Amino acid sequence: MANAMLIDESRCMGCRGCQVACKQWNDNPAELTENWGSYENPPELSGITWTKVKFTEKVEGDQVKWLFLTQGCMHCTEASCEAVCPTGAIQHHGQYVLVDQDWCIGCGYCVAACPFDAIHSVFETEAGGEQKATAKKCTFCVDRTSNGLLPACVKTCPSGALSWGDRSDMIATGKDRVAALQAGGYARANLYGEDQLGGLHRLYVLADEPSAYGLPEAPRHATSNVAGQWLSGILTAGIVAAVPFWLVFKRQRAEEAQGGGAER
Amino acid sequence: MTNQWRDLKNADAFLVCGANPAENHPASMSHINKARDARGAKLIVVDPRFTRSASTADIYAPIRSGSDIAFWGGLMNYILENNLYHEEYVVNYTNASFLIDEGFQGAADLDGYFSGFDPETQSYDQDTWAYQQDTEGNILRDETLQDPNCVFQLLKKHYERYTVDMVEKVCGMPKDNFLEVAQAFAATGAPEKTGTILYAMGQTQHTVGTQNVRCMAMVQLLLGNTGRPGGGVNALRGESNVQGSTDMALLFHIIPAYMNTPNAAKHSDLAEYLEKETPTGGYWVNKPKFLISLLKAWWGDKATQSNDFRYDFLPKISGGINTYAWISMFHAINDGTVKGMWILGQNPAVGGPNARFERKALEKLDWMVVQEIAPTATTDFWRAPDVDPTSIQTEVFLLPAADAMEKEGTIVTSGRLIQYRPKVAEPPGEAQGDIEIMDLIYQELRRLYEAEGGALPEAVLELNWSHGADFDSICREINGYWTKDVTDEEGNAVGTEGEMVANFTKLTDDGSTACGNWIYSGYWVPANDGDGNMVTACKRRGQKDPGGLGMNPYWGFSWPVNRRIIYNRCSADSSGKPWSEDKALIWWDEEEGKWTGYDVPDFSGTKGPGDAGFNDPYIMQPEGKGRLFAARNEGPFPEHYEPLESPVANLLSSVQFNPVVKQWDVDRGQDVGDNVGTSDQFPIVCSTYRVCEHWQAGGMSVWLPWLAEAQPEPFLEMSVELAQEKGVSNGDRVVVSSARGEVEVVAIVTPRVKPFTLDGKTVHQVGMPWHFSWQGLARGATANFLTPHVGDGNTMIPEYKAFLVDVRKAV
């Protein structure tokens, strides 16, 4: 039985407690930002920003709406990132799509393949001065959730917009809420994520159509396309594949020299 | 708050006006959403901007900053005209039926004034605002509410002028929009329904701030919403412990627990103070016990009956808000009257109105001491980017202070709930807790007075301060204790020397008790946590909730005497029965002959039907009734006056501005001075506010990288229409100017801000967050460079929320 996160965007008020709680629990540094004419910052998800709130203003007649979308990895059942990963570093286990940081070679294919722009490369300088790139994203706080705790964002949400539990329960709750919203005049209210990409593990109750929030109505699984390009890349320039593998071996040698993996 | 955060779940409607709970009190939304889910409660947000709170509301209505009384007056008129008030409540529990002096005339008669105004002194002679009394001193009443001199009829007459059309013209709130709000909230006038009003600085930070708050209390009295679950007038307080600070007499006009500060001219000795300050009825008749116990706490054995309990050692004031309030104080610094300043957790260089004036005033101090947790624009005012440190003679002492988490303490929520908080981390470096710092200062002062003498050394030398930095010992004193063994007439022990008193009902006026703050009494004594464990009351974390109303009586301690909803006698009708079963809070138990229920009755526990005063629930008032008519400096009914700087003439009378407010004109016409702008130069209304991501004047938030990332700098929110007029695109830099100065910030051009149409005239409004300065990771212009040095007519709280500016694109 897989769990899922249910995000009721009709109850989100854009306070961004989730965004800060995510950074705090996962020890991610702040980005240098400037106001670009919006409350929204950082402007995009990144390798050090795994959860953020997207702010969208929508005008309908003389009414204005301010829509908030808590963005992050959807943990898709048919995960494009997993499909295109050349090393098998990205795996789908139950509700989680996780990147094994030891196996990630930083090739960036997952970054290009993700239909939600939710996974990004981070360049870090390791002890010993080596540059390493790996892909990072929301882990559903696997270190918390696998120990019976709520994800940091859910734990902190003050309005009750975020919840975490058995996926079928989350779907049932979401559908009830959609029905209540529709009855309350939100004709376009919908549950997003039940069926997309084999079922997402981040589900949204939306008060408006997905595109109003900037979500793709029908996200596509990127396997054939990106993986095909990758294979042709090996044929035409084997070095593209060789360099990352070389980096892996080099890093492993470095770890052995230090007596095992560096403390994270 | 008259109620509690957790009580919000009992409301049938929320009227949020002058507050932004989603952004500034986000945790409140969980309680609000419970009411929306469980009972379909409506969330109404009235605000100049479409805020994050508005985004989640059922009804949003725009209002021009500074026009609140016109809105509230319109709402009262709507309630009265359509007979939507809660009649039984209004007749029995308010002063609606009381007859007012026949000489009284109101703003409807006197073109915006009330009877008794003296233009010379800018004040009212309030003789004609009194209740009519018979020869024995009983107040005359007409319970049919028909007498033309009864409060109800005077109220009706006063607000008749506040028509729906008038609301639209003054507030810029479209008529249909207003009616939608009025209908939704007035529905809570039904006896079984309750609605709550949530407000914050958007109501108080005006030159009519006190009267704005009065309006809300009056609406809630008319609808019968006060003293009941899901009702009340609820201030969402701006800082986590500002309620505690207020209780402990943060402000100049009170000493702890809301007793007036002695005035040198009025209160020459203890007898005179007690005679003038103790009313003849209501719970405040106990004031002598509270004051004398306070004096005993402060001067201990040295305070005796024969020396007036050392009343003479209490500092006396010799003026009011125009002498001691914030703005007045900065004028006193500016003119050299005040030469030294000790600042604890305040940041006038960012938070003060007309902040350029206040920064300049700081330069005139001989010395300044600041207790702070982080560098702020105040700690370092002498080296601000536009300041030459060599030109400043002020000697500055910085005392590094511990953060709230780095010291033991209590925090009092908006709902008067006192919660103990342990120290969870060591303060960094040399930082110390405030108690440690104050104790060190006291020890040194004492040593100096002992060694060198000086003016009135006894006030310090005789001070009863042997606590050191012992937190428990200080809390025992605040709670109150017996100063000697006391027995009753039959020789039974009543109190034992050194033991804490159970609560303030034990306090005496003969010196046998000491108490540092009577309303907190009982908070430090052991109490049941609901599971049979006896735990220091404010440390309790029992989660039981008898009645299911969210009263949670075993969690912490809510002053007074752990009462969760004050005036809760009003939750039962005039026969003592709850107005509705689902909101049954307390009721009269006929068999037991006492009040019972899920909260501590705010009433005499055994006063039953037929007893005198059974329907006098407002026990802190001598007349026992909620006051629809109440004297404040500018009148007994709130009347709309425009802000000091307004784009329009007052449509309700020819009195443009609150007539009792003092206006300073120091250095008027200079670059930095008490300058006032006019709408021909500065046609745009501006308001300041806070964002979710930062905290007050920034000391606690602007240095935090994650918050700086989320909101990196100040901005100006403006409408698409104004941006077009000014040639500004979203994200451009703009210059915002007022008569006090100008600032450059980034523009957020948004459809969430709309121009207002006021009596046919288009008026633009803009807004800016005020957290920022040159200090911090999140930094930029200080919005308070723009705000005026003027304040409310009763409290002098600055008018941060409505002033005039102009906007241009930065080059």
pLDDT tens, B396-436?
Answer: 999 999 999 999 999 999 999 999 999 999 999 999 999 99
Disruptive mutation site among A9, A16, A40, A45 for chain B (greatest number of B CBs within 10 Å): A16
Q: What is the pLDDT of residue B326?
A: 96
Q: Is B709–A30 a contact, with Cβ atoms under 8 angstroms apart?
A: yes
Question: Mean pLDDT throughout A227-254?
Answer: 56
Which residues on chain A are in Cβ contact (under 8 Å) with B30?
A: 158-160
CB-CB under 8 Å, B27 with A19: no
Give whichever of B16-20, B241-245, B343-347, B466-470 has the largest mean pLDDT: B16-20
**pLDDT score for A190:** 98
Going by pLDDT thresholds of 50, 70 and 90, the confidence category of residue A234 is low
pLDDT tens by residue, A130-159: 888 999 999 999 999 999 999 999 999 999
* CB atoms closer than 10 angstroms to residue A105: 22
- Residue A24: list chain B partners with CB under 8 A: 706
Evaluate the CA torsion angle B676, B678, B681, B687 in order and state its sign. Answer: positive
- Nearest CA to B522 out of B540, B536, B541, B543 is that of B536
pLDDT (mean) for B471-485: 98
Give pLDDT, residue A262.
Answer: 39
Cβ–Cβ below 8 Å for A19 and B710:
yes
Give the ranges where B558-713 is alpha helix by DSSP (H): 705-710
Domain ranges of chain A: 3-75+140-213, 80-137+222-257
Chain B residues within an 8 Å CB radius of A38: 730, 748
Contact in structure between A199 and A171 (CB atoms under 8 Å):
no
* Most A-contacting residue of B6, B16, B29 (CB-CB within 10 A), to test interface: B29
Say if residue B207's pLDDT is above 50: yes
pLDDT of residue A232: 58
Same structural domain, B171 and B71: yes
pLDDT band at A129 (very low <50, low <70, confident <90, very high): confident
Residue at which a domain ends, from B457, B491, B526: B457
Scanning B6-45 for CB atoms below 8 A from A yields 22-23, 26-27, 29-30, 33
Strand partners, A64: A59
Which are the contacts of B455, defined by CB distance < 8 A and separation ≥ 6?
none
The mean per-residue pLDDT over the stretch B251-265 comes to: 96
Q: For residue B281, is it within any domain? A: no
Task: Give the residues across from A54 on adjacent strands.
Answer: A69
What is the structure's pLDDT at A238? 57
CB contact under 8 A, B29 and A158: yes
C-alpha angle B6-B8-B14 in degrees, rounded to nearest 5: 160
Q: Which residue of B has its CA nearest to A156?
A: B27
User: Is the pLDDT at A254 greater than 60, yes or no?
Assistant: no
pLDDT value at residue B238? 85
How far A102 CA sits from the closest chain B CA (Å)?
27
H/E element holding B686?
strand B684-689
The CATH number covering residue B367 comes to 3.40.50.740
**Fold observed for domain A3-75+140-213:** Alpha-Beta Plaits (3.30.70)
Closest to A16 (Cβ–Cβ): which among B53, B693, B751? B693
DSSP state of B511: S
Cβ neighbours of B173 (radius 10 Å): 24
CB contact under 8 A, B30 and A20: no
Tell whether A14 lies on the interface with B, counting CB pairs under 8 A: yes
On the 0-12 / 13-18 / 19+ scale of CB atoms within 10 A, A32 is exposed
Structure-block tokens of residue A216: 């793709």
CB contact under 8 A, B746 and A59: no
Residue A29 touches partner B, C-beta closer than 8 Å: yes
Mutation target vs B (from A13, A44, A67, A213; most B CBs, 10 A cutoff): A13
The H or E element containing residue B329 is helix B326-334
Looking at residue B135, the DSSP 8-state letter turns out to be: T
Copy the structure tokens of residue B542.
């029992």
Residue B302 lies in a domain: no
What is the pLDDT confidence band of residue A127, given thresholds at 50, 70 and 90?
confident
Interfacial A residues in 171-200 facing B (CB < 8 Å): none
What residues of chain A lie within 8 A of the CB of B710, using their CB? 16, 19-20, 33, 41
First to last CA, chain A: 31
Of B26, B730, B732, the CB nearest to A13: B26
Q: Closest approach of chain B CAs to the CA of A178, in angstroms?
A: 13
Q: What is the pLDDT of residue A255?
A: 54
Rounded distance between C-alpha atoms, residue B378 and residue A213, angstroms: 42
Statement to judge: residues B218 and B343 lie in one domain: no
Whether B573 maps to a domain, the answer reads no
Would an 8 Å CB–CB cutoff place B277 in contact with chain A? no
**A57/B752 Cβ within 8 A:** yes
User: Which residues in chain A have their CB less than 8 angstroms from residue B54's CB?
Assistant: 66
Residue B245 lies in a domain: no
**Is B518 a member of any domain?**
no
Confidence of residue A128 (pLDDT cuts 50, 70, 90): confident
Domain shared by B234 and B358, yes or no: no
- The domain in which residue B389 lies consists of 321-457
Contacts of B266 (CB under 8 A, 6+ apart): B272, B276
pLDDT for residue A228: 58
Q: What percent of chain B has pLDDT over 90?
A: 99
Interhelix angle B270-277/B287-299, nearest 10 degrees: 140
Q: What is the 3 state secondary structure string of B645-661? A: CCCCCCCCCCCCECCCC
Q: Could A68 and B26 be called an inter-chain contact, meaning their C-beta atoms sit closer than 8 Å? A: no
Q: Which of B173, B701, B709 to mutate to test the interface with A (most CBs of A within 10 A)?
A: B709
Is A158 within 8 Å of B26 when comparing Cβ atoms?
yes
pLDDT at A250: 55
**Quick check: B550 and B10 in contact, CB under 8 A?**
yes
Q: What is the pLDDT of residue A132?
A: 85
Contacts of A36 in chain B (CB under 8 A): 731, 746
Helix (H) or strand (E) run with residue A229 in it: helix A223-236
pLDDT at A125: 85
DSSP strand pairing (A162-166 vs A3-8): antiparallel
Inter-residue contact B414 to B406 (CB < 8 Å): no
Residue A60, chain B, CB below 8 Å: the answer is: no
- What's the total number of domains in chain B? 3
Could you report the per-residue pLDDT of B775-800, keeping only the tens digit for each? 999 999 999 999 999 999 999 999 99
Q: Are residues B195 and B333 in the same domain?
A: no
Q: Which of B23, B706, B731 sits opposite A15 (nearest CB)?
A: B23
Q: What are phi and psi of B592, to 5 degrees?
A: -80, -20
Chain B contact probe: residue of A51, A57, A66, A156 with most B CBs at under 10 A: A66
Residue-wise pLDDT tens digits, B97-152: 999 999 999 999 999 999 999 999 999 999 999 999 999 999 999 999 999 999 99
Chain A, chain B: beta-carbon pairs less than 8 Å apart: 101
* Among candidates A23, A33, A35 on the partner chain, residue whose Cβ is nearest the Cβ of B715: A35
Q: Which of residues 576-635 of B touch A (CB under 8 A)?
A: none
CB neighbourhood size of A264 (10 A): 5
The verdict on residue B111 lying in a domain is: no
* Residue A218, pLDDT above cutoff 80: yes
Mean pLDDT of A74-94: 96
Question: Looking at residue B152, which CATH number applies to its domain?
Answer: 3.40.228.10
The answer on pLDDT for B264 being more than 70 is: yes
Q: Choose the mutation target among B39, B55, B707, B711 for the interface with A, i.e. most A CBs under 10 Å.
A: B55
Residue A240 has pLDDT above 70, yes or no: no
Mean pLDDT of B457-463: 95
The span from the CA of B25 to the CA of A59, in Å, is 27
Q: Do B706 and A42 touch (CB under 8 A)?
A: no
Residue from the list A38, A66, A68 with its beta carbon closest to the beta carbon of B748: A38
What's the confidence (pLDDT) of residue A242?
Answer: 56
Q: Choose from B24, B56, B750 for mutation: most chain A CBs within 10 A.
A: B56
Q: Is residue B146 part of a domain?
A: yes
Residue A264 is predicted with a pLDDT of 37
Q: Which of B50, B705, B749 shows the shortest C-beta gap to A64?
A: B50
Percentage of chain B beyond pLDDT 70 is 100
> What pLDDT score does B45 carry?
98
Rounded to two decimals, what is the model's pTM? 0.94
Of all residues in chain A, the one with the smallest CA distance to B715 is A35
B764 occurs within a structural domain = yes
pLDDT of residue B596: 97
> Which run of H or E residues covers position A230?
helix A223-236
By CA distance, what is A62's nearest residue in B?
A: B751
Nearest by CB: B709 against A14, A15, A42? A42
Q: In Å, how far is B793's CA from the nearest CA of chain A?
A: 35
* Residue ending a domain, choose from B395, B424, B457: B457
What is the model's pLDDT at position A260? 40
| DSSP letter string, A125-182 | EPTTS-EEEEEE-----HHHHTTTPPPHHHHH-SSS-EEEEEHHHHHHHHHHHHHHHH
Is pLDDT of A243 > 70? no
Q: Domain boundary at B238, B269, B291, which?
A: B238
Residues B433, B694, B351, CA angle at the centre, nearest 5°? Answer: 75
Report chain B's mean pLDDT, rounded to a whole number. 97
Across the range A229-252, mean pLDDT stands at: 56
User: pLDDT tens across B394-403, in order?
Assistant: 999 999 999 9
Class in CATH terms, A80-137+222-257 = alpha beta
CA distances from B121 to B105, B117, B125, B796 (A): 19, 9, 10, 17
Contact A39 B711 (CB under 8 A): yes
Nearest chain B alpha carbon to A160 = B30
CA A85 to chain centroid, in Å, comes to: 16
Give me the mean pLDDT over the B213-236 stretch. 98
**Which of B52, B712, B732 comes nearest A13 by C-beta?**
B52
Same-fold call for A3-75+140-213 versus A80-137+222-257: yes
A160 touches chain B (CB under 8 A): yes
